[in-house]
A and B are shown apart, each in its own frame.
Chain A
Amino acid sequence: MAMRNKANKRSQLKIQAGKNQRFLVPQSSKSQLKIQEMAFMLMAVVILFILAGLFFLVIKSQEMYKEANLRAKEKALSTVSRLAETAEFSCGKPSCVDTDKLIVMNSRTAYSGFWPVVSLEVIKIFPKQELVECTKENYPDCSLFKIYEKKTANKETVSTFVALCRKEKTETGGWYEPGKCELGKMVAGFEPKQPK
């Protein structure tokens, strides 16, 4: 009989534990806390992923601009190397520019936009002399041939070595062959791409 009463009381207590608010409150706040914890955790993870994604995007876009600028530079370099070989400039030998042609090209506007560069100039570097722009009046005692220039806000340059040759008589009365040659640089400008 006593055993039965004890079992009864215990089962009643169990039922109370299910219904009584005193028993329910702590359990519910604990799970709420856990849900909150998980929500915060999820938010933190999402924010972390967003930040990592943004970081990745910034780095990728910077790399893309670098790559685009490198391509533009390579294009300008290949253009400037090929230009020395074209009929408009060549003296007939590889890497050789006829300066007599350069002085004629100096004032030609027909070629503007013909070359995929924003500027094109040739500078004499050896024998060294003061930087003087070449005109028909001071040629050949000058060192800078400005062939083409497009006005741009931002410009970078690439250059290649060329021999600068011109027809000239020697002191002994003969002709220099292929001409009297000096060393110079053909410089081309290109517009670098910049992040907006």
Chain B
Amino acid sequence: MMIKNKNLLKSKRAQHEMVGFILIVVIVVIIGLILLVFYINQKPVRSLSSNVNNFLQASMLYTTSCYSGIEPLSLKELIKSCYRSEICSGENSKSACDVLNSTFSELIHEAWIVSPEKAENAYFLDAIYEEKDEDEVTLVNQTILSLQEGNCTGSRVGGEHFFQQDPGNIFVTMELCYT
């Protein structure tokens, strides 16, 4: 009778230990799942990139094929010309915006190899004219150029360059998506 009781006691203790062990495993799995969900749902990190800033600054000086009279325009002047809806003088007489669109796309294409297989999988570029009054209230917000390529996954890095276009400013912003 005593041996039977002893065995019963042992088996109960073993059961308790098993339940405890399973409980620990379940708690660890739940914590792991919570951390995983938290990690997956994290918003993509956005940060400033000196490389993108340098690219924007350097590309603004690029001499384009668009002429204003006898003067060839830099990319910065071409953006201004596009904002004023001007036509390039010369053989083709294309609109400044068409030349801007094709030149900037090619420039980005050569500078950053954007493709789903590469680290840089997408880019967004916007040139916006913005005019504000003395109280910093936006009076005009006009998109001059908007380019994008690829599907953005992963974190984003970006940069901005701006210059004056009386009476407001033109902001050129670029964002790259990295995996």
Contact = CB atoms under 8 A, between A and B. Distances in A.
A joins B in a complex? yes
Best-buried of B62, B67, B71, B111 by chain A (most CB within 10 Å): B62
Contacts of A77: 50
A161 B51 contact: yes
Interface string B110-137: 1100000000000000000000000000
A180 interface: yes
B58 A126 contact: no
B72 A176 contact: yes
A152 B55 CA distance: 29
Contact of A126 (B51, B54, B57, B111): B111
| Interface SS of chain B | helix
Interface stretch (A28-36, A44-52, A90-98, A112-120): A90-98
Interface string A107-140: 0000000000000000001101000000000000
Interface string A144-177: 0000000000000000111101000010111011
Contact of B59 (A163, A172, A173, A178): A163
Contacts of B57: 94-95, 161
B166 interface: no
Interface residues of A, number: 26
Contacts of B67: 172
B173 interface: no
A173 B72 CA distance: 12
Interface size class of B (residues with CB under 8 A): 20 to 34
A174 B111 contact: no
B138 to A, nearest CB: 28
A181 B110 CA distance: 16
A182 B74 CA distance: 10
Contacts of A181: 61-63, 74
Contacts of B60: 163
B139 interface: no
Nearest to A91: B61
Given A93-B61, A181-B61, A162 B71 contact: no
Contacts of B110: 125-126, 128, 183
B70 A174 contact: yes
B107 interface: yes
A98 B2 CA distance: 100
A69 interface: no
B70 A161 contact: no
B72 to A, nearest CB: 6
A81 B63 CA distance: 22
A77 B55 CA distance: 14
Interface string B31-58: 0000000000000000000110011011
Nearest to A178: B61
Interface of A: 77, 81, 93-96, 125-126, 128, 160-163, 165, 170, 172-174, 176-178, 180-184
Interface of B: 50-51, 54-55, 57-63, 67, 70-72, 74, 106-107, 110-111
Given A96-B58, A126-B106, A176-B72, 11 more contacts: A126-B110, A128-B110, A160-B51, A161-B59, A161-B111, A162-B58, A176-B63, A178-B61, A182-B62, A182-B63, A184-B58
